[in-house]
Structure 1
Amino acid sequence: MFSKTCEYAIRAIIFIALQSKEGKNVSIRDIAKGIDSPEHFIAKILQEMSRKGFVNSIKGPNGGFYMDKKTLKITIADIVSHFDGEKVFTACAIGLKQCSEAKPCPLHEQYKPIRKHINDMLRGAQIGNISEQLDIELAYLKLK
């Protein structure tokens, strides 16, 4: 459903959030290893997420990436919108450019509630809440 870049961005931000709760700054190398990502690829993604304000970074020997109260409020939808655009929230089920209420595709009415559910779910999924669910084992995410 998401691009590989977006998937890595989501996994990386969750990994960083988990480490931040323990008061740790995490390096690109540790993130890449922790989410099973190529290091050079995740470095570009993290640079973009830092520039966008999704994560914070500190340079130096004890530096790395971390999240604070503000960044923990970022939602999965924020990340998806940034890396993959709004298409997941608005696209036609079969990829037509002109699908609309006035001129619906054959799956329009069946797909409309699914698209709304995905939209609501991703917009309500704050990174801080996801990391809390992982901490108390209400959810599971296999990280290396």
Structure 2
Amino acid sequence: MFSKACEYGIKACVFIAQESVSGNRVNLKQIANSINSPEAYTAKILQQLVKADVISSVKGKTGGFTMNNTNLENIKLVHIIKAIDGDGLYHSCILGLVECDSKKPCALHNRIYSIRQDLRNMLEDTSMSNLINDLENGLAFLKH
């Protein structure tokens, strides 16, 4: 459903958010290890997230990545996905057709519409706080 970069970006943001709540900054190596992602690939993803103001970066010996603790309720999954994958999830044809819309729909266009609406609602409603709470309560995990 999401690109591999987006999957890593979501996991990285959850890890960074968890550490930020504890008052910690995390470096690239810590993030890559925590989400089982190659460092160079993770660095590119983190750059996109910094550019989109989803996470913050501090340079230097004591630097690293962080999220604003007071803003974790306002950082939604949709922000991460748009920063990495754009909004094609909502608009691109599920069958990969170049032309696909309500006027000229593919075979699945009308069937997928309500599912996409539900997905959009979930992505716009789910915050970093929600995800951290699920992890802390043992309702979810980041890696096996």
For normalisation by structure 1, the TM-score amounts to: 0.89
- Which string of whole-angstrom CA distances, capped at 9 and with x for unpartnered residues, describes residues 122-142 of structure 1? 111112221122112232322
* Structure 2 counterpart of 1:31: 31
Contact 2:49–2:84 (CA<8 Å) still a contact in 1? no
| Percent identity over paired residues | 39
Instruction: Give the total of aligned pairs.
Output: 143
Q: Which runs of 4+ in 1 moved over 3 A?
A: none
2: distance between equivalents of 1:133 and 1:80?
Answer: 20
2: CA distance between counterparts of 1:41 and 1:94? 28
Instruction: Specify the SS of the correspondent of 1:57.
Output: strand
- Match of 1:21? 21
- In structure 1, stretches of 5+ residues that fail to align are none
Please tell me the residue identity of whatever aligns with 1:111: I
2:105 is aligned with what amino acid? P
How many Å apart are 1:70 and its aligned residue? 2.6
Who is 1:81 aligned against?
82
* Coordinate RMSD, CA, aligned: 1.7
- 1:64-79 matches, within 5 Å, as 64-68=64-68, 69-70=70-71, 73-79=74-80
- Please name the residue that 2:109 is paired with: 108
Determine helix, strand or coil for the equivalent of 1:73: coil
- Distance in 2 of aligned mates of 1:82 and 1:50: 9
Q: Deviations over 1:31-51 (max 9, x none)?
A: 011111111111122122122
Equivalent runs, 1:127-138 vs 2, <5 Å: 127-138=128-139
